[in-house]
């Protein structure tokens, strides 16, 4: 990664510092916003092809892995009560995968500190999975390679490999095959949040219904737009705002029409671009600066079109060890 203001792409997951196996490890992983989410019609195999341009943002999840007898998990933070604390949790499944690959028992207590909206289309669960992979690898001294971590991430879910890489990347396949994108500078975001999440499966089902009804045309592209990639390389927020795209947005608006009002408020506040993040319901507004992001967030709050707001900067690192107690 180059110095401040230079071009940079996703770097390696994990920490460059040597770690002492067996001591508690804290790993931080970012949520994301989809700068572009391009979705094909449902294929004969029952799947959609997806091309996504992800950007990691400074709303983060923390996973602390501590030595324990057996596997257990606890969760704190906003909407923690909506997060399962059993074997269905993606971080739990990540620990099991690392233990199997390392040939050890999955003896670990995982504590998740939520900082990314739950079921908000910002991949908070995927960030938990990525953080747990890195944390358990470090805790047990497994020494898994970059390729092994990414292989396990792909088994966990389509957004998990990106949460390992961070920064900005293009995802293909189910979104799990990620290629770093060269990006300059930082991008400032305001997010309009809703307590009630949206089912990704439900949004895709509505997307399929709209296409079958002929109200949503097939506009799937195999590549991200040249204009978007140029905007990222130039660090041009104005140009990037004009390129934001989410093929699932009409389906999300069909299921939650109030999102349209949130988007209009953000546009009226001068947002450079506004898009539903992922499958929603989070509305992401690209701002000119950090101060402008605060102003957009304040406008959404004043208009009473959101349950909460957050601001963040984009193009931050992926899953990283941030502390290991002495």
| pTM score over 0.75 | yes
Is 120 annotated as a binding-site member?
yes
What local confidence, expressed as pLDDT, does residue 2 receive? Answer: 33
Residue 13: its pLDDT value, please? 52
**How far is 59 from 322, CA to CA, in rounded Å?**
15
pLDDT value of residue 20? 55
Which candidate, 77, 60, 171, 64, places its Cα nearest to that of 124? 60
Instruction: Measure the CA–CA gap between 55 and 41, rounded to whole angstroms.
Output: 24
Q: Which pair of structure tokens corresponds to residue 119?
A: 């079921």
Task: Give the Cα separation of 66 and 132 in Å (integer).
Answer: 11
Look up tokens 């709050």; give the residue.
301
The answer to the question of whether 138 is labelled as a binding residue is: no
**290-302 helix and 258-268 helix, angle to the nearest 10 degrees:** 130
Q: What is the C-alpha radius of gyration for the chain, rounded to an integer number of angstroms?
A: 19
Instruction: Confirm or deny that 123 is annotated as ligand binding.
Output: yes
For residue 72, count CB atoms less than 10 angstroms from its CB and return exposed for 0-12, middle for 13-18, buried for 19 or more: middle
* DSSP-assigned beta bridge partners for residue 63: 27, 112
pLDDT reported for residue 220: 85
Known catalytic residues are 32, 159
pLDDT of residue 122: 93
Confirm or deny that 127 is annotated as ligand binding: yes
pLDDT in tens, the chain (326 residues): 333 333 433 344 544 344 555 689 999 999 999 999 999 998 888 888 889 999 999 999 999 999 999 999 999 998 899 999 999 999 999 999 999 999 999 999 999 999 998 888 899 999 999 999 999 999 999 999 999 999 999 999 989 999 999 999 999 877 678 999 999 999 999 999 998 888 889 999 999 999 999 888 888 888 899 999 999 999 999 999 999 999 999 999 999 999 999 999 999 999 999 999 988 899 999 999 999 999 999 999 999 999 999 999 999 999 999 976 54
Task: Please give the domain boundaries of the chain with CATH numbers for all domains.
Answer: 7-182+319-323 (3.30.230.10), 184-314 (3.30.70.890)
Is 270 annotated as a binding-site member?
no
User: How far out from the chain centre does Cα 5 lie?
Assistant: 23
Confirm whether residue 43 is marked as ligand binding: no
Cis amide linkage into residue 73, ω under 30° from 0: no
- Say whether 117 counts as a known binding-site residue: yes
d(CA 139, CA 111): 14
In the numeric block, the tokens 């909407």 are attached to 79
Strands (E) located in the chain:
7-8, 25-39, 50-67, 71-76, 108-113, 168-172, 177-180, 183-184, 187-193, 245-246, 273-276, 283-287, 308-314, 320-323
Q: Per the annotation, does 119 bind a ligand?
A: yes
């Amino acid at each position: 990664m180059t110095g401040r203001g230079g071009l940079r792409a996703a770097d390696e997951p994990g920490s460059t510092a040597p770690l002492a196996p067996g001591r508690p490890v804290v790993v931080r992983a970012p949520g994301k916003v989809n700068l572009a989410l391009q979705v094909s019609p449902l294929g004969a195999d029952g799947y959609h092809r997806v091309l996504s341009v992800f950007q990691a943002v400074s709303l983060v999840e923390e996973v602390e892995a501590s030595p324990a007898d057996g596997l257990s998990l606890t969760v704190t933070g906003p909407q923690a009560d909506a997060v399962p604390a059993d074997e269905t949790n993606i971080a739990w499944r990540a620990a099991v995968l690392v233990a199997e690959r390392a040939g050890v028992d999955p003896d670990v207590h995982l504590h998740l500190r939520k900082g990314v909206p739950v079921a908000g289309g910002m991949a908070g669960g995927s960030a938990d999975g990525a953080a747990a992979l890195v944390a358990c690898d470090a805790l047990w001294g497994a020494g898994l390679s970059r390729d092994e971590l990414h292989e396990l991430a792909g088994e966990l879910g389509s957004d998990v490999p990106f949460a390992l890489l961070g920064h900005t990347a293009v995802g293909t396949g189910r979104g799990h095959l990620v290629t770093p994108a060269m990006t300059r500078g930082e991008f400032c975001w305001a997010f309009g949040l809703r307590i009630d999440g949206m089912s990704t499966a439900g949004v895709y089902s509505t997307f399929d219904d709209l296409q079958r009804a002929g109200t949503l045309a097939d506009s799937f592209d195999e590549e991200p737009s040249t204009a978007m990639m140029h905007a990222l390389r130039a660090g041009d927020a104005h140009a990037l705002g004009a390129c934001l795209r989410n093929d699932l947005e009409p389906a999300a608006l069909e299921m939650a029409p109030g999102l349209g009002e949130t988007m209009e408020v953000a546009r009226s506040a001068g947002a450079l671009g506004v898009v539903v993040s992922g499958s929603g319901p989070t509305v992401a507004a690209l701002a000119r600066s950090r101060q402008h992001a605060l102003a957009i967030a304040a406008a959404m709050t004043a208009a009473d079109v959101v349950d909460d707001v957050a601001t963040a900067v984009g193009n931050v690192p992926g899953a990283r060890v941030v502390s290991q107690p002495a």
